[in-house]
Structures are given as structure tokens and as C-alpha cells.
């Protein structure tokens, strides 16, 4: 991330396993024409549970280290609502077999023989501190679909630690290891992979090719450290130039307030990661630009759906047309379309993302630990079931002291929902198929 004489880097926040109170002062200075902004954030709590009101979210909107927006120095150039039950969404297309398997064999046909519990585990990304990834070895051994890394300074041995962790995967079918490397203050392992400026700075000062090259460099180093998914780029449209915080979850995390520029640069960043073998994840559908408040802390809503249609969706539709493999939903509701958090809405996922935009890849939730989710009347296990019913494929939640218990509760809730008919098994199978497709796993091979 960029540095200047008046910028301050704060670390060791998001990776804490116990509740804590942290005051983060963010200063953004003018250096070489860089953007100017300032903010002070007060964050209380770390992870889900414990009755804390303020959490570190799965996509880092209220956590991580703080940095200036100057030029880069290290990059080198209740009960669930019944209105959104079983979706009419078209599921991700099942992965067909590659050479080496019978013509009739597909991932979906192989998964059909798995237990509901094993399928449910595949839909969960378990959180882990990047300096203690072995702590989730039991969840990985039980078949968790992914691991979500938290922290602000990755250990030099992260790659070796993750290699050892991946040996716990049943059947050796791979593991999605994800983190947030957006740029600016939202970087969890820039000490290993190199720093990027805020996307807002990149959009204002770099060409698309420069953005692509920078993302490719970071992506190559992520892949070398065994991290194969980046919860980036942010495809939201926000030209405020603000440092993200409680009031505005976006600001400098967005490439531009111009939908066309945001779309262009989103695709450039996405393609850079893909060229390095890292799966990019567009977020936060349908766009958080103009959000009323940060949904990590409280219920929030986007601009009206008509406004999203008139520009907010442009980066998503453009990137999807360019082959985006994964999308993260927001936790905002959308006036004029749904009163539910978007990631729990069948209308948003099925009708709009899969239908209108024709997306057939992996759909992830934002953190189910968010205040917007609990504020909508859902416990975390209830929210996981509703997200899958709505059409999501993978759920995630915050790092905290009860990861094992939370993971088990989510998996148990999904299994129970299949047993009593609230969650069709075909939906669970479709979600599991999408996870394996994102991993590029072929169960029929060999």
C-alpha cells in the first residue's frame, strides 16, 4: 500500500481471535496529486458472537490496516421471510467430465452419492487467522469448501502452512483459499505479495493495462503462497473519494464514480488476477455505491433499483460478459426490489444476477455475521440456509473464538433443512457443484 510522511499504517487488527476494541485513525495525504480524504473509525469486537455490535467483516469493510491514498511504493508501476424461499434461479452448470471419465459421468452425478453433511460442508468457507491456518484443519478434514484468511501481515511461511493444510482435504480435491487483496487499506498479505494503492487512486491515475499488470503481479505472489482466490475487485460505483468506514462501505474501494470507468478497471483487475491463476470475485452485487450505511454494523440499503439499473450494474454486467468466475453478494437491501439483504434474496440472485445478467459461476455471500443479517431476523445458521435457498453457493462468516461450533451449526442447519424439505437437495447439489467448478475439480478424472 502507498506510504507518505503523514500516512500511518496500523496492523494486527483483523487477525485477533478475541473481542477487542481498536481505534483506527486513517489519514490520507496529498502526494503527487493523490486523492485527499480523512476518516476516523471506531471498531469494537472481532468476529461473530459474543453479542458485539461491531464486527470485522469477511470482506474487510471495517477492518485491516490503514494506509494513505498516495502512489504505490512497492508495486512497481426470528424467522426467515417466506417471500424469498426456493428460487427460480438457474443453478451453475454442472462440470462435465474431462478425458479419463465415462461420458455420462459429471461432478453432479458423483456428488449425488455424497452425504448431505459432506455436501453442506462444501458450501462453507471457514475463517482462519493467516498466522494460524492449522487451527481449521478439523473443518478442512471434514470437507469445508474454502478457508477465508484474516490478518494484516502474513507470515513468511504461509505457503508451507497452507500446503500442509490442503493435505487434510478429503480425496485431495483441492481447497479454495481466499483473502482480501483490493488495494489501499484493504490488504491482508501485502507484506508478502506487494502493495497496491486504493482502487480509487488506480482508476484516477493508471491505465487499464497498468491495473491489469499490477493485479497480475500481486496474483502471481498470492498463488505462490497457495492463496487461489481474491475477494476482489470491488465492482461498485462510488466517486465520493472517501475512506471507507461506518458511514460509507465503499469510497476509495471503488475504481470510479463513472460506471464506464469502473467497469473498464474492474475487468482489468479481474483479468490480471486470472492470468496469474487466482480466482477473482466481483463484489458487492448489485453495488454498494450510495449505500445508506455500512451493513457490517446495521441494516442498510442501496440506492433505488432504478438507479442500479441506470449505472450501478454496469461493472458487474461488463465483467460477467468478460467471463467473471465468481460474484459476492452484498448484505444491503435494495429499494424497489427486495427488503431482504441481497445475499438472502432469490429475486436478487435468481432473477437478476443469474437471469438478467446471465451469470453461471460461483455465488458467495458476504459475511453472515453482519449486523444487517441479524437485523433482518436471521441467526447465522438460518441465514446460511436462506442464502442457499435463494441461490448462493458458498457462505462465509467472521473470525471469532467459536469457529468450530459455528461451522458445525451451519452444516447441521443445512442438513436439517434438506431433511424437512425447506432446502431442496438439488439446490445443495448445485451449490456443491459450483464450488468444485471454481476449484476446477473433476471428480470423474481417474
Q: What is the pLDDT of residues 139-188, one digit of tens each?
A: 999 999 999 999 999 999 999 999 999 999 999 999 999 999 999 999 99
DSSP readout, 218-268?
Answer: HHHHHHHTT--EE---B-------PPPSSS-S-GGGSS-SSHHHHHHHHHH
Q: Comparing C-alpha atoms, which of 226, 211, 296 is closest to residue 262? A: 211
Distance of CA 90 to the CA centre of its chain: 21
pLDDT bucket at 203, cuts 50 / 70 / 90: very high
- Give residues with Cβ within 8 angstroms of 289, minimum separation 6: 236, 237, 238, 239, 250, 254, 257, 302, 303, 312
Strands 282-285 and 326-329: parallel
Q: Comparing C-alpha atoms, which of 445, 427, 446, 437 is closest to residue 91? A: 427
Tell me which DSSP letter residue 395 carries.
E
Mean pLDDT across the chain: 83
| Lowest-confidence segment of 84-93, 147-156, 190-199, 216-225 by average pLDDT | 84-93
pLDDT at 365: 98
Check pLDDT > 50 for residue 38: no
Q: What is the pLDDT of residues 69-118, one digit of tens each?
A: 333 333 333 333 333 333 333 344 444 444 444 568 999 999 999 999 99
Q: What is the pLDDT of residues 315-345, one digit of tens each?
A: 999 999 999 999 999 999 999 999 999 999 9
Check pLDDT > 80 for residue 59: no
Q: Which residues pair with 28 in a beta bridge?
A: 37
pLDDT at 104: 87
Pick the more confident residue, 98 or 226.
Answer: 226
CA distances from 40 to 76, 207, 250, 374 (A): 29, 31, 15, 25
Q: Give me the helix-helix angle, 314-321 and 259-275, nearest 10°.
A: 40
Stretch 388-412: mean pLDDT: 98
Q: Comparing C-alpha atoms, which of 386, 384, 186 is closest to residue 283? A: 186
pLDDT at 426: 98
Pick the more confident residue, 19 or 376.
Answer: 376
Q: Comparing C-alpha atoms, which of 110, 106, 90, 87 is closest to residue 98? A: 106
Stretch 228-255: mean pLDDT: 97
Q: Which domains does the chain have, with CATH numbers?
A: 82-439 (3.20.20.300)
CA 179, CA 409: separation in Å to the nearest integer? 23
Check pLDDT > 60 for residue 60: no
CA 29, CA 39: separation in Å to the nearest integer? 12
pLDDT at 83: 36
pLDDT at 446: 55
Amino acid at each position: 500500500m502507498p506510504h507518505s510522511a503523514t500516512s500511518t499504517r496500523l496492523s494486527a487488527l483483523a487477525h485477533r481471535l478475541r473481542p477487542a476494541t481498536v481505534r483506527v485513525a486513517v489519514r490520507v495525504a496529498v502526494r503527487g496529486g493523490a486523492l485527499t480524504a480523512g476518516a476516523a473509525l471506531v471498531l469494537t469486537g472481532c468476529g461473530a458472537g459474543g453479542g458485539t455490535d461491531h464486527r470485522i467483516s469477511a470482506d474487510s469493510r471495517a477492518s485491516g490496516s490503514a494506509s494513505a491514498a498516495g502512489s504505490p511504493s512497492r508495486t512497481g508501476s426470528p424467522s426467515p421471510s417466506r417471500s424469498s424461499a426456493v428460487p427460480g434461479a438457474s443453478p451453475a452448470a454442472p462440470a462435465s467430465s474431462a478425458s479419463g471419465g465415462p461420458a455420462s459421468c459429471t461432478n453432479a452425478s458423483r456428488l449425488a452419492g455424497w452425504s448431505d453433511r459432506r455436501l453442506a460442508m462444501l458450501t462453507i468457507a471457514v475463517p482462519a487467522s493467516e498466522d494460524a491456518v492449522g487451527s481449521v484443519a478439523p473443518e478442512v478434514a471434514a470437507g469445508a469448501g474454502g478457508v477465508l484468511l484474516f490478518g494484516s501481515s502474513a507470515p513468511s511461511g504461509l505457503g508451507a502452512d497452507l500446503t500442509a493444510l490442503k493435505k487434510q482435504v478429503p480425496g485431495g480435491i483441492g481447497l479454495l483459499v481466499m483473502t482480501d487483496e483490493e488495494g489501499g487499506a484493504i490488504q491482508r498479505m501485502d507484506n508478502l505479495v506487494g502493495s497496491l494503492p486504493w482502487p480509487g487512486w488506480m482508476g484516477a491515475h493508471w491505465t487499464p493495462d497498468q491495473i491489469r499488470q499490477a493485479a497480475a503481479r500481486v496474483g502471481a505472489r498470492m498463488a505462490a503462497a497457495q492463496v487461489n482466490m481474491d475477494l476482489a475487485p470491488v465492482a461498485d460505483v462510488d466517486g465520493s473519494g472517501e475512506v471507507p468506514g461506518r458511514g460509507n462501505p465503499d469510497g476509495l474501494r471503488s475504481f470510479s464514480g463513472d460506471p464506464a470507468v469502473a467497469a473498464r478497471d474492474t475487468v482489468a483487475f479481474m483479468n490480471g488476477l486470472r492470468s496469474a491463476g487466482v480466482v477473482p470475485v466481483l463484489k458487492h452485487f448489485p453495488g454498494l455505491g450510495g449505500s445508506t450505511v455500512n451493513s457490517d454494523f446495521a441494516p442498510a440499503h442501496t440506492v433505488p433499483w432504478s438507479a442500479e439499473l441506470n449505472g450501478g450494474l454496469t461493472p458487474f454486467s461488463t465483467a460477467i460478459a468478460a467471463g467473471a468466475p465468481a460474484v459476492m453478494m452484498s448484505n444491503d437491501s435494495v429499494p424497489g426490489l427486495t427488503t431482504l439483504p441481497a445475499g438472502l434474496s432469490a429475486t436478487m440472485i435468481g432473477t437478476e444476477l443469474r437471469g438478467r445478467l446471465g451469470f453461471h459461476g460461483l455465488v458467495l455471500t458476504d459475511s453472515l455475521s453482519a449486523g444487517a443479517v441479524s437485523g433482518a431476523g436471521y441467526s447465522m445458521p438460518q441465514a446460511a440456509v436462506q442464502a442457499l435457498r435463494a441461490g448462493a453457493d458458498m457462505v462465509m462468516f467472521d473470525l471469532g473464538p467459536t469457529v468450530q461450533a459455528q461451522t458445525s451449526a451451519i452444516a447441521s442447519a443445512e442438513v436439517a433443512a434438506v431433511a424437512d424439505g425447506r432446502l431442496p437437495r438439488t439446490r445443495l447439489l448445485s451449490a456443491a457443484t459450483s464450488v468444485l467448478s471454481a476449484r476446477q475439480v473433476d471428480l470423474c478424472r481417474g
